[in-house]
Amino acid sequence: MTNKTGPQRFRLQRALLDARQMSRMIRRMAGELVERHDELDRMLLVGIRTRGVPLAKRLRDEIAAMEDVTLPLGVLDITLYRDDLSTIGPHPVVRETRLPEPIDGRVVVLCDDVLFTGRTIRAALDELNDYGRPRAVRLAVLIDRGHRELPIQADVVGAQVQTARSEQVEVGFEGIDEADGARVLKPVEGEAR
């Protein structure tokens, strides 16, 4: 997760993915989803705001190209389910959650850009729970950067990346960001909080 609270500055530590690598990776993830889970007709892709949403869309497009089936797409805003309301700082913007159809009996694939402590996924699971009882919930993430604080694992992972806890993993998606890509940032010395 990114640190939204303050003026901590980060600078580039290393690049992880460029646009081409990222496209390839998403295609492979789509393949794995199709391959490993034969419940395509029950599947519902749900992106976690903010950058799980473009990931979910891209997965849907890739799957559509492979299998000629367009999966329904949902959006989850987990702000209201976070356990850190007191620490998220002065930008607590809440946006809508939008699930296209009831999730009871469906296979929900939660999509997010980065898997870190696992708390976001915990919140997302709680929220899904309030919407119904899915048959199964799977997790697809582009980057698993480690440092889990909860017993949560992804089913489909683009890349496992070793990071220091203080570093930041930043993923960009064309359309809402400059370009596709991912990189590791580290805090600028002397300004660590």
Partner 1 sequence: MSDTAPLRETPDAADTAWTRKHLLGIADLSPSEIELILDTAESFREVGERPIKKVPTLRGKTVMNLFFEPSTRTRSSFELAEKRLSADSLNFSGSGSALSKGETLIDTARNLEAMAPDLVVIRHQHPGVPHLLAERIDAGIINAGDGAHEHPTQALLDAFTIRQHKGGLEGLEVAIVGDIEHSRVVRSNIHLLTKMGARVTVAGLRTMMPVEVEKMGVRAAYDLGEATRGADVVMMLRVQLERQAGGSLFPSVREYFRLFGLSPERLKRAKEDAIVMHPGPMNRGTEISSLVADGTRSVILEQVANGVAVRMAVLYLLMAARGAAV
Q: Which residues bind partner 1 (CB under 8 A)?
A: 2, 4-5, 9, 11-12, 15, 50, 77, 79-82, 85-98, 126-127, 130-132, 170-172, 176-179, 181, 183
Smaller CB separation from partner 1, 154 or 171: 171
Q: How far is the CB of 108 from partner 1 (least distance, A)?
A: 15
Nearest distance from C-beta of residue 165 to partner 1, angstroms: 20
For residue 182, the surrounding DSSP H or E stretch is strand 181-187
Under 8 Å CB-to-CB from 118, ≥6 apart: which residues?
Answer: 148, 149, 150, 151, 152
We find the least distance from the C-beta atom of residue 131 to partner 1, in angstroms, to be: 6
Which CB, 4 or 28, lies closer to partner 1? 4
Judge contact between 158 and 114, C-beta under 8 A: no
Beta carbon of residue 50, minimum distance to partner 1 (angstroms, whole number): 6
Q: Which residues contact 130 (CB under 8 A, 6 or more apart)?
A: none
Q: Which DSSP state fits 83?
A: S
Q: Which is nearer to partner 1, 62 or 127 (CB)?
A: 127
The rounded distance, in Å, linking the Cα atoms of 103 and 135 is 8
Residue closer to partner 1, measured from CB, 59 or 128:
128
Q: Name residue 80's amino acid.
A: L
